[in-house]
């Protein structure tokens, strides 16, 4: 899903490097130049890129967990095929991103173990519950829609292996998004019961979707390493506005209402009121909207969300249950070269 959004790391900016090399590197990337693994790069660029790819990879495989749980409960064969393909794609995105991160210097095994022991994080939006099929529809439409916006800008970043991976991933995200749109339209042109299911799920996912792009920009955002070194090419607030401009009018056109919601500790909505700030500014072309609940965002990111424990537990369960498979492969291994 999103790599850059809400990675909470202490970012270093390359001080300590040879100033001449650093200046040449920065001039190169700022002019649109690309970096390949064997090129010189500041150590801080390498480690930030590694953490970005690792966080992104973690998010792909954790994001597939709530969806994977719905495969057996898909409403019909067509949806089941598509959801199975989506889950396969997401895990595949994880596999490609772990390769990118691994080549930057951390073993895949260490990454998988750090994820299940809570040493590293994944995208915050997967800590929310997915109680109905309509949640699957909203994830594919809103969260994959947000991911395309974000990854579309990441594909213009500076690190060759990462941008090649983004291009391949985005092609598949386009399917996830279109399939999501198809499912949302199906519900919204269905019975009153279907429409209510869709509205309830939309209420649960609108907040996490606009929080998806991460915290507010800092005043010095453009000077910070991720932007300065062109790992990111758009800021969190820019992307959030772009997302609202695209999805708010589309949601309303289907008949969905954009609400500001209060939630209980299970992530279920207890109170929903129409967003009072939602209106189009004719001059700028931007839609106004109520910001996500940032206190909730930080509470969830620190591990106290409705599903944090459950997601990590399922990932850990899979890792532990898969041990015999890895052993069988390794012990029955023939030589790796011919």
Partner 1 sequence: MITNPRIKPPIVTDELNTQEVHAFPVWEVFTKKKETDAHTHAGSLSAPNAQMAANFAREHYGQDQVCCSMWIGLRDDFKSTDACEDTYELFVQWNAGDRHVHVGQANASSREDAETKCKTEFVGDKEFYTIWSLPHQAMHAIDGDEDMIWRTTDQSYRLAKGYSKIVRQKWDAIRASKEVDDYQKEDLKDTF
Of residues 119-178, which lie at the interface with partner 1 (CB under 8 A)?
131-133, 160, 163-165, 168, 171-172, 174-175, 177-178
End-to-end CA distance of the chain: 38
Euclidean distance between CA atoms 206 and 251, whole angstroms: 10
- The residue whose two tokens read 């969830």 is 300
User: Which stretch, 4-12, 216-224, 293-301, 330-338, contacts partner 1 (CB under 8 A)?
Assistant: 330-338
Site map 218..237 versus partner 1, x via CB under 8 A: --------------------
Is 185 among the residues that bind partner 1 (CB under 8 A)? yes
CB of 298 to partner 1, least distance (A): 22
Query: Of partner 1, Fe ion, none, which one sits near residue 117, judging by CB under 5 to 8 A according to partner kind?
Result: partner 1
DSSP 42-85: -HHHHHHHHHHHHHHHHHHHHHHHHHHTTGGG-SSHHHHHHHHH
Is 173 among the residues that bind Fe ion (CB under 5 A)? yes
Is 240 among the residues that bind Fe ion (CB under 5 A)? no
Token couple for 77: 């064969």
Applying CB under 8 A, among 21, 78, 119, 271 the residue interacting with partner 1 is 78
Q: Give whichever of 1 and 5 is closer to partner 1, judged by the CB atom.
A: 1
Applying CB under 8 A, among 76, 191, 270, 337 the residue interacting with partner 1 is 337
Q: Give whichever of 176 and 311 is closer to Fe ion, judged by the CB atom.
A: 176
Is 215 among the residues that bind partner 1 (CB under 8 A)? no
Single out the residue of 73, 74, 119, 65 nearest to residue 94, CA to CA. 65
| Nearest-10 Cα torsion for 5, 163, 87, 187 | 70
Provide the 10 A C-beta neighbour count for residue 19.
10
Euclidean distance between CA atoms 85 and 75, whole angstroms: 15
Query: Of partner 1, Fe ion, none, which one sits near residue 144, judging by CB under 5 to 8 A according to partner kind?
Result: Fe ion
Interface with partner 1 in residues 279-308 (CB under 8 A): none
Euclidean distance between CA atoms 13 and 27, whole angstroms: 15
Instruction: Decide: helix, strand or coil at residue 149.
Output: helix
User: Which stretch, 37-45, 69-77, 166-174, 190-198, contacts Fe ion (CB under 5 A)?
Assistant: 166-174
Euclidean distance between CA atoms 275 and 287, whole angstroms: 12
Q: Give whichever of 99 and 238 is closer to partner 1, judged by the CB atom.
A: 99
What residues make contact with Fe ion under the rule CB under 5 A? 60, 90, 93, 144, 173, 176
């Amino acid at each position: 899903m999103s790599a850059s959004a809400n990675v909470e790391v202490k970012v270093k900016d390359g001080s300590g490097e040879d100033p001449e090399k650093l200046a040449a590197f920065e001039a190169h990337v700022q002019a649109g130049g690309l970096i390949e693994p064997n090129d010189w790069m500041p150590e801080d660029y390498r480690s930030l890129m590694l953490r970005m790819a690792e966080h992104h990879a973690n998010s792909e495989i954790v994001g597939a967990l709530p969806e994977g749980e719905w495969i057996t409960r898909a409403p019909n064969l067509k949806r089941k095929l598509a959801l199975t393909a989506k889950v396969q794609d997401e895990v595949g995105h994880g596999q490609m991103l772990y390769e990118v991160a691994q080549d930057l210097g951390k073993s895949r095994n260490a990454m998988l173990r750090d994820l299940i022991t809570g040493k590293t994080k994944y995208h915050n939006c997967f800590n929310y519950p997915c109680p109905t099929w309509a949640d699957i529809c909203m994830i594919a439409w809103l969260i994959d829609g947000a991911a395309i916006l974000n990854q579309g800008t990441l594909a213009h970043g500076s690190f060759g292996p990462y941008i090649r991976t983004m291009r391949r991933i985005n092609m598949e995200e386009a399917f996830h998004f279109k399939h999501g749109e198809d499912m949302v339209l199906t519900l919204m042109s269905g019975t009153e019961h279907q429409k209510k299911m869709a509205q309830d799920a939309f209420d649960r996912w609108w907040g996490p979707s606009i929080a998806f792009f991460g915290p507010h920009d800092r005043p010095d955002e453009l000077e910070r390493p991720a932007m300065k070194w062109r790992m990111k090419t758009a800021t969190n607030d820019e992307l959030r506005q772009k997302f609202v401009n695209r999805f708010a009018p589309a949601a309303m056109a289907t008949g969905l209402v954009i609400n500001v919601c209060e939630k209980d500790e299970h992530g279920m909505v207890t109170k929903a009121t129409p967003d009072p700030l939602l209106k189009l500014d004719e001059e700028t072309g931007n839609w106004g909207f109520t910001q996500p609940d940032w206190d909730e965002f930080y509470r969830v990111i620190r591990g106290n969300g409705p599903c944090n424990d459950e997601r990590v537990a399922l990932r850990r369960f899979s890792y532990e249950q898969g041990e015999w498979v890895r052993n069988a492969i390794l012990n029955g291994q023939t030589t790796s070269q011919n």
